[in-house]
Amino acid sequence: MPGFTRRETLSLGVAAGVAIAFSGEAAVAQTSAAAPTFTLLLVNDIYKAAAEKGRGGFAKLAAVVKAERARGVPMLFCHAGDTFSPSLISGFDQGAHIVKLTNMIPPDVFVPGNHEFDFGKAVYFQRQAEAKFPFFAANLRDAAGAPLPNTLDNKIFTLGPIKVGVTGLVLAETPTMSSTEDLKFEDELATLQREAKLLREAGADFVVCVAHTDRVIDHAIVKSRLADVLLTGHDHDLAIEYDEAVVMVESSEDAHYVTAIDIAATVKGEGKDRKVSWRPSFRVHDTTSIEPDPEVQAVVDALEAELAKELDVTVGTTAVELDSRSSSVRSRETAMGNLVADAERALTGADVALANGGGIRANKVYAPGSSLSRRDILSELPFGNSVVLVELSGADLKAALENGLSLLEKGAGRFPQVSGLSLIVDANAPAGSRVTTVKVGEAALDPAKTYKVAANDFMFAGGDGYTMLAKGKVLIGRTDGKLLATAVGDYVAHLGTIKTGVEGRIVMK
């Protein structure tokens, strides 16, 4: 299908005879399907309040949810996480507006994604307290290993004649990606094995796992046969897979597409002889053609208007191309990455600055001569990170660079954008041995020498695997540093015109 971006990859691995239909412009495949016994509706990874180029956003999502609820078919609306952050407005209110909007169309099941913890544990719990919808996270525990308050491990819903057991899973690697502090994240498959057993023993006819997990874990869940349906998030793909035993669905991102799974179920026998057979069919709502819900749209418009007053102010211009596309900042030196790292170094007086490519988020190109506004800066740096400064040995600094390049082939967010140093990389060498040459300024890196290294507080806390940053003496701590977005905005305003492009700081061999 034409028109899909990388993050809207369409994957339809389904069995013959299963109905798949798009509402809207494109019809992929349609076959007759039995009347549904119940419906599962999925959204995941929705950050932006407003539609973008006519697609997605909360008002269009609300219209889909309300229309599905009006069908009269028993339904569970499930949210597979990642929504409090990152977004432009979240940089100001730490996701409070997201909860307000989600409360207008409360999901029956909400599983937190890794971005729910971007502002720390206290903010996570504050947002949860404001929410009018239930949180499910069977593998999320407190520091002592006990279940969190107001968080469900599982629940059985009665949908028509079927008892549907639901459990939720959070990505176990969340502590390396976000600011989870002392919260514990248990193994996904071991947790699902426990919860599925409990649900079946409690009488569930059908088990749904709602998870914020990557595709490797998704496929392991499918292979395990522990759940009948996996509703997942995190990868941002539009994906529908069915292998005659287990359904796996993901609904793209930002409510560009919202997937409904209609389950036609048949019950035979009673008690120990009770047997339930079922068959899925799929309806994908392309929200390009969906009229926004007016009630939610009014709230979105008010949010956007208030934000515009603060953000639509020009802070500088660029004389060079600034590339913040994910495929660029996660794989090579970019002028945008240089700008962020330079701002960190200028703010702190560091010898060296590091910026993880995954922290640069707007995914766009600014042509030479473009103006940069506060909105642009916050779109690029929406996480609310602060700038930290540590004294680090040359050996640990090199280890940090090796970590940043360790997942180069995967385009991981840990890729290092740098300032104050240059390096030569052998991309074909094994992970951990890819940095062949490092210079700090004009001098070769000295493993025994101490350097002042600036980074963001996410990296300092071990995010993206940068655990070595915490080995150094802390000069500016997580609660002491200036917000990274503010530092970059101030730096751009000081420069007036950005003239630093790609300079050969990172040379890939």
Q: Where are the domains of the chain?
A: 6-304, 312-508
Q: How far apart are CA 34 and CA 38, in angstroms?
A: 11
Rounded to 10 deg, the angle between the 96-103 and 121-130 helix axes is 30
What class does CATH assign to 312-508? Answer: alpha beta
Decide: 36 and 68 in contact? Cβ < 8 Å: no
- Residue 13 has a pLDDT of 73
- Residue 10 has a pLDDT of 59
Fold category of 6-304 in CATH? Purple Acid Phosphatase; chain A, domain 2 (3.60.21)
| Per-residue b or e along 270-288, where b marks 16 or more CB atoms closer than 10 Å to that residue's CB | eeeeeebebbbbbbbbbbb
Decide: 432 and 361 in contact? Cβ < 8 Å: no
Burial of 372 (0-12, 13-18, 19+ CB in 10 A): buried
What torsion do the CA atoms of 117, 122, 124, 126 make, to the nearest 10 degrees? -160
* Identical topology for domains 6-304 and 312-508: no
DSSP structure string for 374-435:
HHHHHHHSTT--BEEEEEEEHHHHHHHHHHHHTTGGGT-TTPEEEESEEEEE-TTSPTT--E
Residuewise pLDDT in 10s, the chain (509 residues) = 223 333 345 567 766 566 677 775 433 334 446 799 999 999 999 998 999 889 999 999 999 999 999 999 999 999 999 999 887 788 788 999 999 999 999 999 999 999 999 889 999 999 999 999 999 999 999 999 999 999 999 999 999 999 999 999 999 999 988 889 999 999 999 999 999 999 999 999 999 999 999 999 999 999 999 999 999 999 889 999 999 999 999 999 999 999 999 999 999 998 888 999 999 999 999 999 999 999 999 999 999 898 888 888 999 999 999 999 999 999 999 999 999 999 999 999 999 999 999 999 999 999 999 999 999 999 999 988 999 999 999 999 999 999 999 999 999 999 999 999 999 999 999 999 999 999 999 999 999 999 999 999 999 999 999 999 999 999 998 767 888 998 999 999 999 999 999 999 999 99
- Residue 15 has a pLDDT of 66
Q: How far apart are CA 225 and CA 229, in angstroms?
A: 9
Q: How far apart are CA 236 and CA 6, in angstroms?
A: 9
Q: How far apart are CA 413 and CA 401, in angstroms?
A: 13
Decide: 161 and 109 in contact? Cβ < 8 Å: no
